[in-house]
Structures are given as C-alpha cells and as structure tokens.
C-alpha cells in the first residue's frame, strides 16, 4: 500500500475567545494517500478551513504534527515550509483569488516562474492546463472578463501549475450555481484522477461529496468518517 502523502497526527488548534479559548481541533488525525480524493463535509464554523490551512502549512498547530511527503513539517524552517507549500501543495478557494491585472494565462505562469521556470515553458504548461480545463479560448482574458465557472477553472489550473502532490480545496464550487458547480467539479475530478494527485475538498454539496472516495467530517474536534 502506498504511504500517505499527507498525514495529520494529534492536531490541536484553539483560538482565543474573550477570557478563554475556543477549541476547534482536538487530537485530530487524518491521512491522505496518493490518488485519493476525500470530501470534508461539516457545518460552517466546524473548522474545515482551519484544518485545510494546517494541512497546507498556512498556519501551525498548537500541538501535533503535519507530515507531507514523509517530511514532518513542525520543526522545519520557514523557508523549508514555504518550499513544501510551493512545490507539493495546491490550493483552491471558494473565491478565485486570481490576480486581477493579469490574464488567465499569466496567472498560471506566475507560480511556475517563481520556482524558476523559464517563461516559455511556463506559458506552454499554462496553455495545456487551460485547454485541459476547457478554458483555453479565454487564456488572454483577465479574471473580471471571465464567468464564475471560468474563473474557478483558471484557479484550479493555477493550483496545479507546479504539479503539486496534494490539492486542498475550500468549497471550490461554493460560489457557483448548481449547474456550473457540476461542470467545474467534473473538470476538477478529471484532473485529479488523471494526475494521481491526492485531494482534500471541503464542500457543502453532498452530491459532489458522494462522488469522492471517502467522506469525512469533524466531530468534537476530530476527523471522523461521515455517516450521513
Ligand atoms: P469552517 O471552515 O468549517 O466554516 P473555520 O475553520 O473557518 O470553520 O472556523 C472554525 C471556528 O474557528 C469558527 O468559530 C471561527 O470563528 C474560528 N476561527 C477561525 N479562524 C480564527 C482566528 N484566526 N481567530 C479566532 N477564531 C478563528
């Protein structure tokens, strides 16, 4: 059996709330294997974003360990964490967060060029990804000129531009009408399945969750199988 690409062990996370603390995650444990697509379904405020941020090294747990591609990340330097985040992890958010002053293609070239890739090569990969996600004809348009579904497909292309091994998505279709959500998810699923990426996707959409390999939820600060 393949080793997990992402592992969370004994994760604790709480936030200050008035005089006390609000515990969001308590001894949370979760692992994701290469090629696995897992849905995270839980009510608003349960801690889905917190879990994704911890998994993506955007914040640090109060206790516990996040391991990515076999590397325990807790004691790494900021630079080493940034390198892992840049090379191994792709993020998709509910809102596209594309850079407004750049074209769709440039938005996908930029993360590649940050890692040192030559512009011509970055442009070629951006074009391939946009074609794969069927937005190639919109490559030269800026985000404001794209529909919501197109913006999210460009955001997905950007997330995988550096060929990460883990894709973390926080309600990637949450801002779209049901039909658009369906075809954006189709594109995301095809990409994940074809590339062998591991994906953890927070969603409120039970129909889409049911298409993934597993569904988990948060209960008492722990990650548990969804029994819905
Ligand atoms: P979800 O994504 O499931 O809606 P979140 O992870 O965003 O949940 O938030 C979980 C809880 O933690 C919420 O009650 C939220 O208000 C609180 N929270 C999240 N981030 C912070 C923060 N930086 N400081 C204080 N409280 C926070």
pLDDT of residue 61: 96
Q: Which atom of ligand 1 is found nearest the CA of 42?
A: 3
pLDDT at residue 1 above 70?
Answer: no
pLDDT of residue 124: 97
Whole-angstrom Cα distance, residue 191 to residue 167? Answer: 11
pLDDT of residue 228: 74
H helices of 97-205, where? 104-114, 119-132, 148-159, 178-195
Q: How confident is the model at residue 227 (pLDDT cuts 50, 70, 90)?
A: confident
- Phi first, then psi: give them for residue 133, nearest 5 degrees: -90, 10
48 ligand 1 Cβ < 6 A: yes
The residue-averaged pLDDT of 97-111 equals: 97
Whole-angstrom Cα distance, residue 95 to residue 192? Answer: 20
What residue's CA is closest to ligand 1, atom 20?
A: 50
24 ligand 1 Cβ < 6 A: yes
- Share the mean pLDDT of the chain: 95
15 ligand 1 Cβ < 6 A: yes
39 ligand 1 Cβ < 6 A: no
Whole-angstrom Cα distance, residue 33 to residue 67? Answer: 12
For strands 20-32 and 198-202, give the pairing.
Answer: unpaired
Question: What would the pLDDT profile of 144-157 be if each residue is shown by its tens digit?
Answer: 999 999 999 999 99
The residue-averaged pLDDT of 126-130 equals: 97
pLDDT at residue 222 above 80?
Answer: yes
- Phi first, then psi: give them for residue 153, nearest 5 degrees: -70, -35
Tell me, in angstroms, the distance from the centre of ligand 1 to residue 47's CA. Answer: 6
Q: With pLDDT > 90 as the criterion, what percentage of the chain qualifies?
A: 93
Q: Which of 11, 13, 24 to mutate to test the pocket of ligand 1 (most atoms within 8 A of CB)?
A: 24
The residue-averaged pLDDT of 86-106 equals: 95
191: its two tokens: 């990409």
The residue-averaged pLDDT of 106-117 equals: 96
The residue-averaged pLDDT of 36-61 equals: 96
What residue's CA is closest to ligand 1, atom 24?
A: 15
Question: What would the pLDDT profile of 27-37 be if each residue is shown by its tens digit?
Answer: 999 999 999 99
Question: What would the pLDDT profile of 164-202 be if each residue is shown by its tens digit?
Answer: 999 999 999 998 999 999 989 999 999 999 998 999 999
The residue-averaged pLDDT of 195-211 equals: 94
pLDDT at residue 83 above 70?
Answer: yes
pLDDT at residue 2 above 90?
Answer: no
What are the strands of the beta sheet with 71-72, ordered from one edge? 20-32, 6-17, 63-68, 71-72
Instruction: Determine the angle formed by the axes of helices 148-159 and 178-195, rounding to 10 degrees.
Output: 20
Inter-residue contact 129 to 160 (CB < 8 Å): yes
Inter-residue contact 201 to 212 (CB < 8 Å): yes
Q: Which atom of ligand 1 is found nearest the CA of 46?
A: 3
Whole-angstrom Cα distance, residue 18 to residue 136? Answer: 50
pLDDT of residue 81: 95
50 ligand 1 Cβ < 6 A: yes
Burial 56-75 (b: 16+ CB within 10 A, else e): bbeeebeebebbbbeeebee
Q: Which atom of ligand 1 is found nearest the CA of 52?
A: 6
The residue-averaged pLDDT of 59-86 equals: 95
């Amino acid at each position: 059996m393949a080793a997990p690409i992402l592992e969370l062990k004994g994760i604790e996370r709480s936030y200050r709330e008035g005089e006390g603390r609000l515990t969001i995650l308590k001894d949370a444990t979760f692992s994701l294997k290469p090629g696995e697509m897992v849905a995270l379904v839980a009510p608003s405020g349960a801690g889905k974003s917190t879990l994704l941020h911890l998994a993506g090294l955007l914040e640090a747990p109060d206790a516990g360990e996040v391991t990515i591609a076999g590397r325990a990340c807790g004691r790494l330097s900021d630079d080493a964490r940034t390198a892992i985040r840049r090379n191994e992890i792709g993020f998709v958010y509910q809102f596209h967060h594309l850079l407004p002053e750049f074209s769709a293609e440039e938005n996908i070239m930029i993360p590649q060029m940050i890692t040192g890739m030559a512009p011509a090569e970055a442009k070629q990969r951006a074009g391939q990804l946009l074609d794969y996600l069927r937005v190639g004809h919109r490559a030269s348009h800026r985000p404001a000129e794209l529909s919501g579904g197109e913006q999210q497909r460009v955001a997905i292309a950007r997330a995988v531009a550096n060929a990460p091994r883990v894709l973390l998505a926080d309600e990637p279709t949450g801002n779209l009408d049901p039909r658009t959500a369906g075809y954006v998810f189709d594109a995301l699923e095809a990409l994940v399945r074809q590339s062998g990426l591991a994906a953890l996707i927070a969603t409120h959409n039970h129909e889409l969750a049911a298409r993934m390999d597993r569904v988990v939820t948060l209960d008492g600060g722990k990650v548990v199988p969804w029994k819905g």
